[in-house]
Amino acid sequence: MKKEWGMIATWRMAGDAIKLGADILNENGKCQDAVEKAIMQVEDFPFYKSVGYGGLPNEDCEVELDAAFMDGKTLSIGAVAGIKDYKNPVSIARKLSEDRFNIFLVGAGAEAYAHKNGFVRQNMLTERAKKTWEKRKKEIYEKNLSPYDGHDTVCMIALDKERDMAAATSTSGLFMKKRGRVGDSPVSGSGFYVNNDIGGAAATGLGEDIMKGCLSYEVVQRMKRGEHPQEAAQGAVMDFTEELKKRRGHAGAISVIALNNKGEWGIGTNVEFTFAAATSDEKPQVYIANPIEG
């Protein structure tokens, strides 16, 4: 059933932000604004430890952030990776999407662009995140653990009343990552993809594995072939998880959200996963999903 508008987002942390996005869409606002403003809210909240301010740092205790923005009408994309000391990476990504060239900037280049365009500088490392880093560092050493534990990306996809669609992502990436490590979140086709004529998808989980399957693009292509977002997302995640296990012996955590241009939504996941969704027919709500074995 065709909805007037719709929105879906990854993780429980998006539960409040999706209400803001839903209000924007309900009041005839644009999908581009809905995804950007909702993600900004998550980025600004200090207790969400995997996104924006308060995000967990890399192995050198620096907060390096990745973010992207895509417009489903023009297919414009903007992205930043490994950016430090700027408050809202998603907004920098959106601004970059207006450009014809140089749409994906990393590190110092992204920071110089942000500075030139008047974005707010802010130290993104909170005391709380620093303490978590110190504790983890000690544990890794004492217990000989793998350093990589804990990561979540906020992804949002929206359809507005004009039938336009947009998607955006923002993350601090893998906790204890190496300096300069970039995940799937700012990478088109892997971390996100949206096309007004079909729909959009966005991913969270282990970027190193998500990128091997270009999963967001894969889900959009399945929807193009007529699959419902639920079928497309679950099928793509399960098929690719199997493939990774077969070829490599293991598969990381992978979850994908999907929304088509009728406002129908779905998710696919190989782990327990929380997400938030809202449409013109359904109030904003947080859901818990478990993997469905194929």
Report which residue type is found at 33. D
What six digits make up the tokens of 153? 């990306």
Cα separation, 66 vs 101, in Å, equals 19
| Relative orientation angle of helices 31-44 and 17-26, to the nearest 10 degrees | 160
274 binds ligand SD4 (CB under 6 A): no
Indicate which single residue of 29, 173, 189, 213 sits in contact with ligand SD4 (rule: CB under 6 A): 173
> Do 190 and 216 contact (CB within 8 A), yes or no?
yes
204 binds ligand SD4 (CB under 6 A): yes
Q: In the complex with ligand SD4, which residue's Cβ is closer, 24 or 129?
A: 129
41 binds ligand SD4 (CB under 6 A): no
Q: In the complex with ligand SD4, which residue's Cβ is closer, 196 or 204?
A: 204
Please give the DSSP secondary-structure letter assigned to residue 188.
B
Q: In the complex with ligand SD4, which residue's Cβ is closer, 208 or 242?
A: 208
Smallest distance, Å, CB 246 to ligand SD4? 22
Smallest distance, Å, CB 182 to ligand SD4? 8
Beta bridge partners of 69: 78, 168
In the block, residue with structure tokens 């204890």: 176
Q: Can you say whether residue 287 is alpha, beta or left, with left for phi > 0 and alpha for psi between -120 and 50 degrees?
A: beta
152 binds ligand SD4 (CB under 6 A): yes
52 binds ligand SD4 (CB under 6 A): no
In the chain, alpha helices (H):
17-26, 31-44, 89-96, 107-116, 127-143, 207-213, 215-224, 229-248
Cα separation, 276 vs 286, in Å, equals 4
Q: Would you give the binding string for ligand SD4 spanning residues 55-94, x where CB under 6 A is met? A: ----------------------------------------
Site stretch for ligand SD4 (CB under 6 A), options 23-31, 75-83, 121-129, 145-153: 145-153
Indicate which single residue of 58, 126, 185, 196 sits in contact with ligand SD4 (rule: CB under 6 A): 185
* CA angle in degrees (0–180, nearest 5) for 265-8-197: 60
Site stretch for ligand SD4 (CB under 6 A), options 19-27, 68-76, 88-96, 201-209: 201-209
Number of residues engaging ligand SD4 in binding (CB under 6 A): 13
In degrees and rounded to multiples of 5, residue 66 shows phi and psi of: -120, 140
Which candidate, 113, 104, 85, places its Cα nearest to that of 189? 104
Indicate which single residue of 3, 84, 87, 151 sits in contact with ligand SD4 (rule: CB under 6 A): 151
Would you please indicate which residues are annotated as catalytic (active-site) residues? 153
Smallest distance, Å, CB 140 to ligand SD4? 19
Indicate which single residue of 18, 63, 83, 174 sits in contact with ligand SD4 (rule: CB under 6 A): 174
Site stretch for ligand SD4 (CB under 6 A), options 67-75, 86-94, 169-177, 228-236: 169-177
Indicate which single residue of 6, 29, 205, 291 sits in contact with ligand SD4 (rule: CB under 6 A): 205
153 binds ligand SD4 (CB under 6 A): yes
> Do 210 and 151 contact (CB within 8 A), yes or no?
no
> Do 126 and 53 contact (CB within 8 A), yes or no?
yes
What six digits make up the tokens of 190? 């892997």
Where along the sequence are the contacts to ligand SD4 (CB under 6 A)?
151-153, 171, 173-174, 183-185, 204-207
